[in-house]
Amino acid sequence: MSSALDRLLVSASHARPGLAIHTEIALREAHAGDESGLAPITPGAVIVARDADDVSAVLSLATRERVSVTPRAGATGKAGGAIPDADGIALVLTGLDRELEIDAGDRIAVAGAGVVLAKLREAARAQHLFYGPDPSSLESATIGGNVATNASGPSSLKHGSTARWVRGLEVVTGAGTHLAMPSRVSKSTVGLDLAQLLVGSEGMLGVVTRVFVRLEPAPERVALASVSLSSLESIGPALVAIDRAHVAPRAIELLDDEALSTLRAARTDHALDPRAVAILFVELEGSEHGVDDDLSRLDDALSPIAIDVRLARNETEREALWKIRRDTSVALKKSAKHKLSEDVVVPRSKVGALIATARRLGVEHGVRMPSYGHAGDGNLHVNFLWEDDAQRPDVDRAMAALFREVIALGGTISGEHGIGRAKAAYLPLAHDPARLAMQREVKRLFDPAGILNPGKVLG
Ligand SMILES: Cc1cc2nc3c(=O)[nH]c(=O)nc-3n(C[C@H](O)[C@H](O)[C@H](O)COP(=O)(O)OP(=O)(O)OC[C@H]3O[C@@H](n4cnc5c(N)ncnc54)[C@H](O)[C@@H]3O)c2cc1C
């Protein structure tokens, strides 16, 4: 352990009696990795915060001693953002989960940053209210982690990502300063919106300790249709037809041909249309009658293009269709020794071009590259599957080529997982030097000693 870290731990234990500071190897190792597939790094110490004052004490001491701090919550991140430094601290925020208020009158939820998303959504539902963002990790990810990564899910097509739901935040800056930006109002034009600046900042600027999000009335009904397509070329026309039907789906998810054939090979008893080369799942919400009307418009619009449009007639069938979508990632993972999944995003009209690009790059670099995901948002999980360890350089070349092509299509390199450690080297592809310099200036204001998540995002 470095002497700076040693001094910090002694000072922290005096400043905050009872603070849980762990230096045992087993606990440090348990806080070394996340879901990115990157190699874990065992931190010098693990500190479990109880409240914002603990966070502030740790960050101000870390600034004084120049020790790196990695905020960490559900550790479900896919970009390596929660992987700590060897001489640094993993600052665990899951203990900030005691506060969860649903204010039905003002349609606001106020939650400690460590509250697990599923718990927040459930508490809202119990009062007939609805919180939009629905990342698949919602049973483990925290609302603070969601804010830090600007998380989203299938329904972001209609409801947007976390940024659209955040009303206010309480944050501790890298220097340890409390920054309270609470808000229960739906509109504000009062100075710069620093809370929104923090959304998606991946723990680089400050630690989120308390979150204010808006809620909406829960929809009366949700319905799902699966749309079987006979070719990849019909994906684009199908998306256009959905738009022209004047329905506003809350989700349009896609499985391409390689993803489908992997699912079929996995023999998971899915009722997948054997003729389908690609499948779209289209989810609608609204009133009982409104959804019926939208479903028949959808059917009319897609009938000339699709082989089949099948409606889930009840909750069990809807869940069975979603299970196919959820099983895709698992089936792909099982089908190869190695799997990496990117989350690139292109303008919606370029989804077909993105799939064709992935297919071409897969052939050029000798890597299987199936795609699936949020087609309505143009946000696809392009996967890299390979068997031989020696192929990794080919995978890296294919990935860099994919990022360049995505930017040429008018898109960008991450739609939901963020940059973290995994994609920090690629950030200059997405931002020009002037924008990068401005972001580094902002980081210096919030975190003058550069102790928060060094080496991630901005490098
Ligand atoms: C199976 C699976 C499915 C997933 N599906 C989706 C999906 O559909 N959509 C999606 O967007 N993501 C998805 N993810 C990625 C992940 O769940 C999200 O990025 C999530 O928001 C991370 O939350 P967390 O609490 O796990 O944060 P962590 O993984 O602990 O941390 C993520 C980043 O946020 C920072 N951080 C965490 N908490 C705070 C805080 N309170 N203040 C400041 N910084 C903080 C960390 O330093 C790190 O940089 C998925 C992951 C898995 C494993």
**Ligand 1 atom closest to 453 (CA):** 47
Which letter does DSSP use for residue 438 in this model?
H
User: For a pocket test of ligand 1, which of 136, 326, 332 has the largest count of ligand atoms closer than 8 A to its C-beta?
Assistant: 136
d(CA 153, CA 131): 12
**Ligand 1 atom closest to 171 (CA):** 42
Architecture of domain 336-448: 2-Layer Sandwich (3.30)
Residue 120: partners with Cβ closer than 8 Å, 6 or more residues away: 100, 109, 111, 131, 143, 213
**Ligand 1 atom closest to 72 (CA):** 30
Question: Which residue's C-alpha comes closest to atom 2 of ligand 1?
Answer: 137
Question: Which residue's C-alpha comes closest to atom 16 of ligand 1?
Answer: 77
Pick among 3.10.290.10, 3.30.465.10, 3.40.430.10, 3.30.360.10: CATH of 100-217: 3.30.465.10
Expressed in angstroms and rounded, the spacing between residue 149 Cα and the centre of ligand 1 is 6
**For residue 313, what pLDDT is reported?**
76
**Ligand 1 atom closest to 74 (CA):** 26
pLDDT tens for the 459 residues of the chain, in order: 789 999 999 999 999 999 999 999 999 999 999 999 899 999 999 999 999 999 999 999 999 999 999 999 999 999 999 999 999 999 999 999 999 999 999 999 999 999 999 999 999 999 999 999 999 999 999 999 999 999 999 999 999 999 999 999 999 999 999 999 999 999 999 999 999 999 999 999 999 999 999 999 999 999 999 999 999 999 999 999 999 999 999 999 999 999 999 999 887 667 788 899 999 999 999 999 999 999 999 999 999 999 999 998 788 889 888 888 888 999 999 999 999 999 999 999 999 999 999 999 999 999 999 999 999 999 999 999 999 999 999 999 999 999 999 999 999 999 999 999 999 999 999 999 999 999 999 999 999 999 999 999 998
Expressed in angstroms and rounded, the spacing between residue 200 Cα and the centre of ligand 1 is 10
d(CA 94, CA 73): 5
**For residue 268, what pLDDT is reported?**
67
Q: Where exactly are the structural domains of the chain?
A: 3-92, 100-217, 219-335, 336-448
Tell me if 107 sits within 8 A of 215, measured CB to CB.
yes
Question: Is there a common fold for 219-335 and 336-448?
Answer: yes
**Ligand 1 atom closest to 144 (CA):** 41
Expressed in angstroms and rounded, the spacing between residue 417 Cα and the centre of ligand 1 is 7
- β-partners of residue 282 are 225, 252
Tell me if 372 sits within 8 A of 328, measured CB to CB.
yes
**For residue 269, what pLDDT is reported?**
67
Question: Which residue's C-alpha comes closest to atom 9 of ligand 1?
Answer: 135
**Ligand 1 atom closest to 70 (CA):** 47
**For residue 174, what pLDDT is reported?**
98
d(CA 92, CA 47): 6
Domain 3-92 in CATH 3.10.310.30? The answer is no
Expressed in angstroms and rounded, the spacing between residue 352 Cα and the centre of ligand 1 is 28
Q: Which CATH class is domain 219-335?
A: alpha beta
Expressed in angstroms and rounded, the spacing between residue 440 Cα and the centre of ligand 1 is 22
Which letter does DSSP use for residue 193 in this model?
-
In terms of Cα–Cα distance, which of 203, 227, 172 is closest to 54? Answer: 172
> What residue ranges line ligand 1, CB within 6 angstroms?
34-35, 70-78, 81-82, 93, 113, 135-137, 141-142, 144-146, 148-149, 151-153, 202-203, 207-208, 416-417, 420, 453
Phi first, then psi, for residue 15 (nearest 5°) are -70, -35
Expressed in angstroms and rounded, the spacing between residue 100 Cα and the centre of ligand 1 is 19
d(CA 71, CA 225): 40
**For residue 73, what pLDDT is reported?**
98
| Identity of the amino acid at 119 | K
Predicted TM-score (pTM) of this structure: 0.96
Question: Which residue's C-alpha comes closest to atom 1 of ligand 1?
Answer: 137
User: For a pocket test of ligand 1, which of 38, 48, 93, 137 has the largest count of ligand atoms closer than 8 A to its C-beta?
Assistant: 137
